[in-house]
Homo-oligomer: A and B are copies of this chain.
Amino acid sequence: MHPLKNLNSLIIEFYDKLSSWEQSVVKETGYTLAQVHTIEVLGSFGPMRMKELAERLGITTGTLTVQIEKLVKSELVERHPHDDDRRSILVGLTVAGEALHKQHNEMHLQLTQDITQPLNQDELSVLTESLRKINQEF
C-alpha cells in the first residue's frame, strides 16, 4: 500500500469538512460564498486593484466587476481611483465590510480552537510548523 494513502484521505476529508463548514457559516450571513470570500481577501490583505483581487480570488476581472458591483450596492465595499494609474481602481472594505470580515474571522478562529481541542502543546507546535512547510510547497 502507498505509504501516504492514509494521510491523503485525511487531507481530503479535512478539506471537505472545512468546505461544508464554510458553506453553512456563510449562508447564515445572508451573503453568498463568493461575496464573503471577496470580503475575506480584502480584509486580510487590505485594499487592492481589481486585477490583483481577481488573481487572488482565482477569477477573471470580468467576473469580479459584477461581483464588486453587488458588494458596492450592499455597502460592504468602496471603489476609489488609483493615484498613479487612472486605468486602475482601488477596491477596499467599508466600515460595514470590515465588521463582516472581523465577524467571519472570529468564526474561523473559533473553529480552529474547537477542532484543535484534542491536541496537546507538542502536537500543536508540530502541526503549525508542518503546515507552514506544506504551504510553501504549493
**A32 within 8 Å of B by Cβ?**
no
**Which residues of B have CB within 8 Å of A119?**
130, 133-134
Given known contacts A58-B20, A123-B129, A14 and B137 CB-to-CB distance under 8 angstroms: no
Given known contacts A20-B58, A126-B127, A127-B126, A109 and B5 CB-to-CB distance under 8 angstroms: yes
User: How many chain-A residues does the 8 Å CB contact rule pick out?
Assistant: 46
Expressed in whole angstroms, the minimum distance between the Cβ of A39 and any Cβ of chain B is 13
Copies in the complex: 2
B10 touches A128 (CB 8 A): yes
A112 touches B8 (CB 8 A): yes
Q: Contacting A117 at CB < 8 Å: which of B23, B40, B131, B137?
A: B137
